[in-house]
Amino acid sequence: MATMAEDGLVIAGRRFGGRLLLGSAGYPNQQVLLDAVQAADPAMVTVAVRRISLAGYAESLVDVLAGRVLLPNTAGCTTVRDAVLTAELGREALGTDWVKLELIGDNETLYPDVEQLLRATEELVGKGFTVLPYCTDDPVVCRKLADAGAAAVMPLGAPIGTGLGVVNPYMIERICVTSAVPVILDAGIGTASDAARAMELGCAGVLLNTAVARARDPVRMAAAMAAAVHAGRDAHLAGRIPVRTQAEPSSPQLGLLGS
């Protein structure tokens, strides 16, 4: 299979080798995680600071992923104070000031609390962090996050773990067109075509976890996701045909036999 020269994801001035970000939670075991990471070859691997920080397990996960770019996240945080503290723990534990900011407002939908998210972003940017906030598919929130100094915005495709894909493609596309910072689709991806679709809408990257970790064969799904992100990126750059509701022959009708 031919693929085009990779055109590169750049966030906060740093260039990455791919456009897929992979979460590290929920795999059947650590070997499967490792194999999936190898199959996906992601730009970054996200790790939950709260899990890293637990002695023992922490070192092990970080050791296991040695050589990978790790992105600590604040999964499970529900207040600005909690998220800021967790980000600081992550900085210390992993030696990076990059953080995926999660600030959850609802335990059922795991939707972010965008009001607090804006405040936490401001505060963390003020403390020198490179902040990638997980947010809603709301173009106003995305613009405000960028204005507050977020290095990228990470709108959801659908609630975490649902596998519904990109429920509101109109708004994701709109955010991609207008955002001053890279847009990483985060959450909701269920299968490869969802990841491709996110990229086709103009996203700079895709972050996913459950779709790989809980697939029947996580390693094969990791490979599928990597190929899908490439495919979607290329399709975006290639400029798809418009959607028509009327058929149009691919083989021209001119020069038909006997005509």
The residues that are catalytic are 100
76: annotated binding-site residue? no
8: annotated binding-site residue? no
Instruction: Give the span between the Cα atoms of 105 and 83, in whole angstroms.
Output: 12
Residue 115, interface with a second copy (CB under 8 A)?
Answer: yes
CA angle 192, 225, 62 (to 5 degrees): 140
**Three-class secondary structure of residue 81 per DSSP:** helix
Handedness of CA 13, 16, 21, 26 (dihedral sign): negative
Out of 97, 111, 123, 125, the only residue in the binding site for a second copy (CB under 8 A) is 111
User: Partners of 133 in the beta sheet?
Assistant: 101
State the number of binding residues for a second copy (CB under 8 A).
109
Scan residues 63-92 and list those touching a second copy (CB under 8 A). 73, 75-76, 82, 85-86, 89
Look up residue 224 and give its two tokens. 């599928």
From the CB of 192, what's the least distance to a second copy, in Å?
Answer: 4
User: Partners of 44 in the beta sheet?
Assistant: 21
Residue 230, interface with a second copy (CB under 8 A)?
Answer: yes
From the CB of 85, what's the least distance to a second copy, in Å?
Answer: 8
Scan residues 146-205 and list those touching a second copy (CB under 8 A). 158-164, 167-168, 170-171, 173-174, 178, 190-197, 200
Look up residue 123 and give its two tokens. 């505060």
Place of tokens 């094969």: 220
Instruction: Give the span between the Cα atoms of 18 and 46, in whole angstroms.
Output: 15
- Are 184 and 208 within 8 A, CB to CB? no
Residue 133, interface with a second copy (CB under 8 A)?
Answer: no
5: annotated binding-site residue? no
- Are 99 and 129 within 8 A, CB to CB? yes
Out of 63, 66, 128, 250, the only residue in the binding site for a second copy (CB under 8 A) is 250
162: annotated binding-site residue? no
Out of 9, 23, 44, 206, the only residue in the binding site for a second copy (CB under 8 A) is 23
From the CB of 189, what's the least distance to a second copy, in Å?
Answer: 9
Binding residues for 1-deoxy-D-xylulose 5-phosphate: 161, 187-188, 209-210
